[in-house]
Structure 1
Amino acid sequence: MREPQLVTAEGLPDRVTIYEVGPRDGLQNESAIVDVAVKAEFIRRLVDAGLTTVETTSFVHPKWVPQLADAAELLEQLDLPDGVRAPVLVPNERGLDRALAAGVREIAIFASATETFATKNLNSTLDEQFTMFTPTIQRALDAGLTVRGYVSMCYGDPWEGDVPIDQVVKVGARLVELGCHELSLGDTIGVATPGQVTALIRAFTAAGVPVDKLAVHFHDTYGQALANTVTALREGITTVDSSAGGLGGCPYAESATGNLATEDLLWQLNGLGIHTGVNLEKLVTTSTWMAGQLGKPSPSRVVQALAG
């Protein structure tokens, strides 16, 4: 299988952690329900390809995301190797109860940087969302779990338009103060450009949130995800969210198209000589298999090029 020519560039990290979100963020956006056995096999194949962090599912109420109603059953089917992180998304304390019962050791919570998205997605105001997060995070920490915080709509909102940087920083910094060990900055509708990425990361570090607590989560709606990623790496980011095969979007934001494809990200990182531990050929084979299960082609350009 073809690999990119290796030419390094200055100012980039030697190693990047790929935070794989396909099984959760990818499959939650599918119109059809994927069988739990297929999901379990998907995760096993991702791990076999070398991914060491795979967000497996969400304990959101099945009414809101029926595609992930089988969360507990899925986790029962998984027996992942030591050293593989398998976080799950939890929306509130009820979700945390289910995650704890399933033996989960790492969770993520999902916050909004804008008032309108908080109302539509969390049934809350921008400030009131923390009333829900605070006990959830505290109970998780008390139980010995690690907690990741997602901040959505960091660069633009389909209802409000541009989002002030200081507003994003205020939300994210508050999550860190509550105990989140990592903060993923989401370009939920894929409108960010490199200058915005630089400005937001620098605003967080200026506010006292160290860059090693930050991750980036880009969507490719306007074709900017890879440019934004390399910009983030130059600012010191070393954790990048992506979705195998480019699966996913956001069920609450209709203008959001797929996540940055893990294969597209890996092609870029391999060409720059940045180590990830992920095998591109195995990953392409996995995403091609999953596309067959879903009955539609993968939107990943690298998958299309290498599996075509």
Structure 2
Amino acid sequence: MVSAMAGLPGHAVITEVGPRDGLQSEPVFVPTAQKIALIEALIAAGLRRFEVTSFVSPRAVPQMRDAAQVMAALRGRDGLHLTALVPNERGAEVAIAAGVDALVLFASASESHNLKNVNRSRAASLQGFADIARLARGTGVRLQGAIATAFGCPFEGDVDVQAVVDQAAACRDLGMDHITLGDTTGMATPALVVQRVEALRKVLGDAELALHFHNTRGVGLACVWAGLSMGVTHYESSIGGLGGCPFVPRATGNIATEDLVYLLHESGIGTGTDLDALIGAAQLAQRIVGHELPGQVMKAGPRLRTAGMDSVRTAHG
């Protein structure tokens, strides 16, 4: 691998969200064994951080009805960091019992999307965070915050950066030491990334900042580059580009893990993963869901993968 480009970090940390954020929108239930097989392939490719599932009502998200079984297959493995999304105290209780390393507590930076996404006001969501924080105290389970629509709302348009800062500060005050800005709507731009990272660094202190981009308008990796230029080293992605928020009109998938790793490796930034193995995992994900996924590197392969001269026709004329 080449040396890291000047001004960029030498290593990046990837959290794979495909098993949760990627699969949750799939209309056909993915059998538990296939979910576990996909995660096993991702582990074999070198990934160690996973948003495995969400402990939500099966009526709300039928795809996640096997959350406890998926966690049981992974619990206790050395070197893995396993998180789960939880919407309320009941979900947190079950997740803690299932052996998660961290609870991911999420709310939107815009009022309207929060109402659509979890049917609660932002204030009610933050009060729920406080209740879950009390529940988790003393269990050894960490709390992580996730701020949805951090770069724009499909119903309100621009989201004021101060709303994002205030929500991040509330998460920090509740003891969350890892906070993710989510581009739920694919409205992030490199300029917005720089603006929000600059603003958040003034209030987050030692808390880790992570970025989660969708590729709805084709600039997901450009937004990663903006984050790297600001020294952000934590990113969330989904194998094959699986996913897309079900509560956002015209939503498309997350940035693809293998596309992200390709960009990082070709820029001299280490990830501890094997790109060829990730491509294989993306192809497995595509077979599991039964439709084409939007990832690009899973189709084209690494930059230096060559082909035989007889694999394409010769031009005539």
User: Which TM-score bucket, shorter chain as reference?
Assistant: over 0.9
> What SS class does the counterpart of residue 81 from structure 2 fall into?
coil
8 Å contact from structure 2 (residues 35, 70) kept in 1: yes
Question: Does residue 304 of the first structure (1) align with residue 294 of the second (2)?
Answer: no
- C-alpha distance in structure 2 between counterparts of 1:136 and 1:80, whole Å: 23
What per-residue deviation string (whole Å, max 9, x for no partner) do you get for residues 133-188 of structure 1?
Answer: 11112322321111111100011101001111111111111111111110000111
Question: Does residue 265 of the first structure (1) align with residue 260 of the second (2)?
Answer: yes
8 Å contact from structure 2 (residues 179, 207) kept in 1: no
| 1:294 pairs with one of 289, 293, 296 | 289
> What SS class does the counterpart of residue 29 from structure 1 fall into?
coil
Specify the alignment match of 2:122 in structure 1: 126
Q: Which amino acid aligns with 1:210?
A: G
| 2:174 pairs with one of 170, 173, 178 | 178
Shift of 1:247: 0.3
Specify the alignment match of 2:44 in structure 1: 48
Question: Does residue 283 of the first structure (1) align with residue 285 of the second (2)?
Answer: no
Specify the alignment match of 1:90 in structure 2: 86
- C-alpha distance in structure 2 between counterparts of 1:96 and 1:144, whole Å: 13
- C-alpha distance in structure 1 between counterparts of 2:38 and 2:198, whole Å: 36
Coordinate RMSD, CA, aligned:
1.6
TM-score by length of 2: 0.92
TM-score by length of 1: 0.94
Question: Does residue 214 of the first structure (1) align with residue 212 of the second (2)?
Answer: no
| 2:140 pairs with one of 141, 144, 151 | 144
Identify which range, 7-16 or 214-223, moves more after superposition: 7-16
8 Å contact from structure 1 (residues 14, 273) kept in 2: yes
- C-alpha distance in structure 1 between counterparts of 2:132 and 2:120, whole Å: 15
8 Å contact from structure 1 (residues 217, 241) kept in 2: yes
> What SS class does the counterpart of residue 148 from structure 1 fall into?
strand
- C-alpha distance in structure 1 between counterparts of 2:75 and 2:67, whole Å: 14
- C-alpha distance in structure 1 between counterparts of 2:117 and 2:179, whole Å: 19
Specify the alignment match of 1:228 in structure 2: 223
| 5+ long unaligned stretches in structure 1 | none
Specify the alignment match of 1:14 in structure 2: 10
Shift of 1:211: 7.2
What per-residue deviation string (whole Å, max 9, x for no partner) do you get for residues 172-224 of structure 1?
Answer: 11111111110000111111111110000101112x21375210000000011
8 Å contact from structure 2 (residues 239, 285) kept in 1: no
Shift of 1:254: 2.8
- C-alpha distance in structure 2 between counterparts of 1:129 and 1:159, whole Å: 19
8 Å contact from structure 1 (residues 205, 211) kept in 2: no
- C-alpha distance in structure 2 between counterparts of 1:241 and 1:85, whole Å: 13
- C-alpha distance in structure 2 between counterparts of 1:7 and 1:182, whole Å: 28
What per-residue deviation string (whole Å, max 9, x for no partner) do you get for residues 255-303 of structure 1?
Answer: 3210010011001000111111010001100110121121112210111
Change (3 A) 1:212 1:94: closer
Specify the alignment match of 2:312 in structure 1: none
8 Å contact from structure 1 (residues 27, 67) kept in 2: yes
From the CA coordinates, give the structure whose radius of gyration is larger: 2
Question: Does residue 241 of the first structure (1) align with residue 236 of the second (2)?
Answer: yes
Question: Does residue 189 of the first structure (1) align with residue 185 of the second (2)?
Answer: yes
| 5+ long unaligned stretches in structure 2 | 306-317
8 Å contact from structure 1 (residues 28, 248) kept in 2: yes
8 Å contact from structure 2 (residues 176, 207) kept in 1: no
> What SS class does the counterpart of residue 42 from structure 1 fall into?
helix
Q: Which amino acid aligns with 1:219?
A: H
Specify the alignment match of 2:31 in structure 1: 35
Q: Which amino acid aligns with 1:271?
A: E
Determine what percentage of the aligned residue pairs are the same residue: 41
What per-residue deviation string (whole Å, max 9, x for no partner) do you get for residues 210-239 of structure 1?
Answer: 375210000000011101001111112110
- C-alpha distance in structure 2 between counterparts of 1:68 and 1:163, whole Å: 30
